[in-house]
Every structure is written in C-alpha cells, then in structure tokens.
Structure 1
Amino acid sequence: MCETEQNSDRSAAASPPGRLKKTVVMVGMMGAGKTAVGRALAARLDVPFLDSDAEIEVAANRTIPEIFANEGEAFFRDKESRVIARLLQRPQHGVLSTGGGAFLSATNRQMISLYGVSVWLQADLEVLWNRVRHRDTRPLLRTADPRATLAALYDSRVPLYAKADLAVNSDGQAAIEDMVDRVLAALAARPDVLEPQG
C-alpha cells in the first residue's frame, strides 16, 4: 500500500474520534510541540484550534517579544490570563495551545480545570533544547547562556506541569499524527471530556 493510501485510511479510520465536551488545553515547555500537536488534534476532532500567544499578539497588535521588551513579563502574564479566560469560555469547545508559562499561574490552572482539561506534553530537556536552540523567538532565552536558562526554567516548571490532568510523552521521535494518537488515547480515559462516537 502506498503512503498516500495509508494516510487516507488512517484519516478515515480516525475521523472524528468523538465529540468534545470541554476544551483541551495543551500545556508544557517551549518546544514541547503544543502548537503543532494541538493544531493536528483540532483537525482530527474537527474543532477550532486556538493559540493563546497568537490571540495576545492580535489583541496587543505587537509580537510577544515586543510585549516583553516594552511592558515586561508581569504585563504579559496579566494579558495572558485574560485571553485564556476568554478562550476557555467560548461556547464551542476546541483545542487551546498555551504559552510555556501559562500553566505556572494558579489562577490559570484553576480556570483550565473549571472549563477544560489540561494535557501536558512531557518532553525532556534535550528534546526541548534541540527544538528551540536555532530560533530567536523566545524572549526568556535571550540570555548569555540560553541552554542554562532553559534548564533552570525546566527544573522550576516541571513540578507545576505535573499538576496537569493528563500527561503525554513527547519524545522527539514520534510524528505529529502519532502524537495526536497518544493524546486521543489519554483523552479516551476521560468520557467527561471526549464523548465517544456512536
């Protein structure tokens, strides 16, 4: 069977695996794959894909690095919480990708728990570094030693990510569609979130 046929068989077999009853919120470190996996998951579920960072940029008419540089992180975090609250309370459930720092806020975690389900894309430090080291789009990594900064962020954030409702291994080897399969397998244990078809 050719690759195209395999892909179409897979799409047909997997579409859509159920009806969302809550918004799925992707959380985790920068470089974990929240946007790529979240976008593919939304497509598989046939629901809207939302990105809190993109929504903040639209609302502020500036990029995230510009907001950090001009207003500072505290201003950004306040905007981030407001945007996440708005996106979680939309009438149509979807898949929401959040920035790496969003889940650190107890307020955000409480909102996400109330209106959605959090899925931690759990990637180790080497996987994350390999994905982010060639990009200059991460304000928090604009330091003299970005790898050490990433390691410090990782160590401080992992205990908070561990509070997520579900954890899915992002090992840097799996294709995006395979990652979607892993997330769906985790969601299958939550009928309050994903109602099976039929």
Structure 2
Amino acid sequence: MKKIVLVGYMASGKTEIGKLLSKKLDLPFFDIDHLIENEVSKTVNEIFDEKGEIFFRKKEHEVFANKINSDETFVLSLGGGTPCYANNHLFLQKEDVISIYLNVKIPSLIERLKINKANRPLIKDLSDDELTEFVSKHLFDRSFYYNQCKHTIFIDDTKSPFDVIEEIQKILL
C-alpha cells in the first residue's frame, strides 16, 4: 500500500473523508494541520496570529517533507495551501504517493466555509461578499498545484463522503 494524500481547497472534505478512508483501509490517518499544531504546541490560528503565514508555511513544508519521505503508509489530508508553497506539489508526484484532488464547486465551498469561518485564518475577517471573491480568485490561483495530483474526484452536493470513499477505493484497485 502506498501513501494516500488528499488535496483540495478549504472545506472540500479532506479531513472527514481522510478519517473515513483510513478506517476503511485500516491505515493511520494524519491531518497536516494537526501534525503542525503538535510540533509547535499552538493552534493554526495562534501560529498565524503570533508567528505569521511565512513561519507557518515553512513549518508546513518541513512537516510534510518528513512525513511523505518516511517509510510509513498512511492517509494524509493536506491544508488547502500546502501544495502551493515550497514546491510541495512535487511530492504529489512521488512514486509511492497516491495523490487525490477533491474538487468541489465554488458555491458549495462558500456555503461550507460560511459555517466555520472563524476557525480559518485566511478568511475569518471577510464578509460573505468578500468571501466569494476571495475563494474564486484563490481557487483559480491554486488550481495549477491541485491539478498536479495523480487523480481528481469531482464532488457535488449529491455525493456523500461514503460515495467519495467508494470512488477512491476504485482508484486504489
């Protein structure tokens, strides 16, 4: 079994799907944000507030590189920006990595993000109108990096997390 890495924008379901997939495959699950929080002993919000985004991105790269270059097999969900910095997108092409882009339409992302905006440092201070513009531009800017994944799963509001798991299992065959 290879390393399975889930990629996508904020609120695309990476963590939820990652946890379910890891149980189904009996593999350990890791969320890059939690790995960073454990290493720094601060929440992502605290890291952004106290040390800034550049510190966070450097730490994110270090943690991702260490995990992806390990001999472990696992399911890993990345942060929405992880592939976009420090050439992290190159790790998605490694031979022992199955990288999967969870591609969710912008209106669905907006609705999901409105629910939990306060816990997301990049959008917590945006109005709903600003959020729509920000996500649209941000997703456009990041699409090159997300599309470096070996596989893409398109997710709409009719697909349950279990439907997505089934699609991933077909990829793994």
When the two structures are superposed, what TM-score results if normalisation uses the length of structure 2? 0.91
1:187 is matched with 172
1:98 is matched with 78
Summarize the Cα distance change of 1:89–1:56 in structure 2 as closer, same or farther, 3 Å threshold.
Answer: same
Aligned residue-pair number: 168
Give the distance between the partners of 2:54 and 2:80, measured in 1 at CA: 15
Measured after TM superposition, the shift of residue 172 of structure 1 is: 2.5
Measured after TM superposition, the shift of residue 29 of structure 1 is: 0.2
When the two structures are superposed, what TM-score results if normalisation uses the length of structure 1? 0.80
**Paired residues of 1:26 and 1:98 also in contact (CA < 8 A):** yes
Q: Root-mean-square deviation (CA), in Å?
A: 1.4
- Structure 2 residues not aligned, in runs of 5+: none
1:131 is matched with 112
* Paired amino acid for 1:128: L
Give the distance between the partners of 2:56 and 2:137, measured in 1 at CA: 20
2:138 is matched with 153
String of CA shifts for 1:12-60, please: whole Å, max 9, x gaps.
Answer: xxxxxxxx1x201000100110001111111111110011100101111
**Paired residues of 2:110 and 2:131 also in contact (CA < 8 A):** no
2:123 is matched with 141
Structure whose alpha-carbon radius of gyration is higher: 1
1:176 is matched with 161
Q: Percent identity?
A: 30
- Structure 1 residues not aligned, in runs of 5+: 1-19, 189-198
Give the distance between the partners of 2:157 and 2:51, measured in 1 at CA: 34
Give the distance between the partners of 1:105 and 1:141, measured in 2 at CA: 18
* Paired amino acid for 1:31: A
